[in-house]
Amino acid sequence: MKAASNYPKPALTVDCVIFGYEKGSLQILLVRRGIEPFKGSWALPGGFVKLDETLDEAAKRELREETGVENIYMEQLYTFGGIERDPRERVVSVAYFALVKLSEVREVKDSTDAEEAKWFDIKKLPVLAFDHRHILQTAMERLKGKITYKPIVFELLPAKFVFSDVESIYETILNEPLNRRNFRTKMLATGLLEELDERVTHVSFRPPKLFRFNKKKYQKLNAKEINLRF
């Protein structure tokens, strides 16, 4: 049997699809590459995995370096191993997707391979480097499926929100209108939304009540799935 050192080794990277949400727009954080290949093009944040870190550690590090945020909802998405996906060498990438509150994300730090970072509406994306368009499409399909059985959309909303914000974010991600009466009934039936004795201020019309997601209650339920299919 040949020793492991006798086999050629592909490089390993992580790429992060970072979703944000604002006023009916699903946003994606992209970085402009400062080096070749694809210098000047927009790409997903990411980089090479170090020898002394796990995949999860690498993804968290890249996310922290590119956005400055930590301790957010993130999960492994898929492994992309197209033979010619990187013109430099054979590169396999493990992709992650993350959900962040836009108010918590600052601009990218100066680095050797990124000149700037910018949020883009998912419907108005520039041409992306490498196979990052395919990675993004895969993440979008995962997100659409995930929100029908896990309440992860609340990772995108502020701590307090009006119910119409919840309706809007589901319609934006699913890209289709909801039966709002049915949606409200099912969402409130989960018992995971806490209606507050507070209302929106500084509005000319009758101010709606505020809600918050009861994360502790969801964790106590120890439920892998809840019925959020509308």
Regions of the chain short of the pLDDT cut 70: 1-4, 106-114, 203-205, 222-225, 227, 230
Domain with CATH 1.10.10.10 in the chain: 152-221
Fold of 152-221: Arc Repressor Mutant, subunit A (1.10.10)
Instruction: Give residue 39's pLDDT.
Output: 93
Instruction: Give residue 111's pLDDT.
Output: 56
Instruction: Give residue 79's pLDDT.
Output: 97
Instruction: Give residue 222's pLDDT.
Output: 64
Q: Considering the domain 4-141 in this protein, what is its CATH number?
A: 3.90.79.10
Partners of 33 in the β-ladder? 114
Instruction: Give residue 175's pLDDT.
Output: 93
Domain with CATH 3.90.79.10 in the chain: 4-141
* Long-range contacts at 76-85 (CB < 8 A, ≥ 24 apart): 77/17, 77/135, 77/138, 77/139, 77/142, 78/135, 78/138, 78/142, 80/15, 80/131, 80/134, 80/135, 81/10, 82/131, 85/130, 85/131
Would you name the residues annotated as active-site residues? Answer: 116
- How do beta strands 209-213 and 46-48 pair? unpaired
Instruction: Give residue 139's pLDDT.
Output: 98
